[in-house]
Amino acid sequence: MSVILGIDIGGSGIKGAPVDTRTGKLMAERRRIPTPEGAAPDAIRAVVTELVQHFGLDGPVGVTFPGIVQRGHTLSAANVHPDWVGLNADALFTEATGHEVHLINDADAAGLAEARFGAGQGEDGTVLVLTFGTGIGSALIHRGTLIPNTELGHLWLRDKHAETWASDRARERDDLNWKQWSKRACTYLQHLELLFSPDLFIIGGGISKKAEKWQGHLKLDRSRVVPARLLNEAGIIGAAMMAAGTAPDLDAAPSETAPSEDAPKPAKARPARKAPARPRKA
């Protein structure tokens, strides 16, 4: 089966479309429903079910989630309701929709899609896809193989939490112009370049639509930096690839909805760090 429904859960909208997973093309117009206030599991489950019914496709469904996803469980919730932490969301959606649901982190889905069908097509080395939006998502891909849940938006740059300081939300919150924001993004990318030496950075999320504003300012010594090509379809396409089995199976999930004893443990949020204390004058 190659036409699979992909659903992308985002901070402001939940979007779905059938995808031809051999070509990465959407086979019908995308449908978008605003994300319910608070983004709690029950409310999101209802929207996902509505999208599945709307398209009426047979077969498995791929769904993205903006947090850590391990063996079908959602283990962190930086920008959604805390009730997601520790939930077997894969089983929750599977029971609600009556379809086999495969869950994947949103940036990992976007990364898989960009690497196969977008700006990383044909790239042979290491690709780091970063999505700048409410948060910063990351996907690390080496020769087509994804290392899931890298969560590089949560790195610390001295006393700055990368996502809180350099996301698109931070740009809006701090009223930065594009040059000012690019300076922050460049500091972050330079650090990632030092850690991972990617051949290519792909910059996705909402800002990929405005590449002309930042592209001239985001240059690195060793890695190339390019805007994502699939824009806001990347998550939908990657989710469908995952469910079609054309991406590595990252989510073999137990079937119950409550966290079980052998369910993976939720990630602990790291407390905000204080700025290092200044040495006292003698």
Binding residue count for ligand BGC, defined by CB under 6 A: 15
- CB 277: neighbour CB atoms within 10 A? 6
Q: To the nearest whole angstrom, how small is the minimum distance from the Cβ of residue 204 to ligand BGC?
A: 10
Please pick, from the candidates 8, 90, 106, 114, the single residue that binds ligand BGC as defined by CB under 6 A. Answer: 106
Q: Considering the rule CB under 6 A, would residue 141 count as an interface residue with ligand BGC?
A: no
Applying CB under 6 A, does 164 fall inside the site for ligand BGC?
no
Please give the structure tokens belonging to residue 204: 């996705």
Residues in 46-85 at the binding interface with ligand BGC, rule: CB under 6 A: 66-68, 76, 78-79
Q: How far is the CB of 149 from ligand BGC (least distance, A)?
A: 7
Interacting positions 112-131 with ligand BGC (CB under 6 A): 131
Label residues 57-77 b or e (16+ Cβ within 10 Å = b). beebbbbbbbbbbbbbbbbbb
Q: Is residue 232 a contact point for ligand BGC (CB under 6 A)? A: no
The reply to whether 35 sits near ligand BGC by the rule CB under 6 A is no
Interacting stretch for ligand BGC, rule CB under 6 A, among 32-40, 86-94, 102-110, 208-216?
A: 102-110
204 binds ligand BGC, rule: CB under 6 A: no
- Return the residue of 123, 151, 193, 251 that touches ligand BGC, per CB under 6 A: 151
**Rule CB under 6 A: which residues touch ligand BGC?**
66-68, 76, 78-79, 105-107, 131, 135, 137, 151, 153, 163
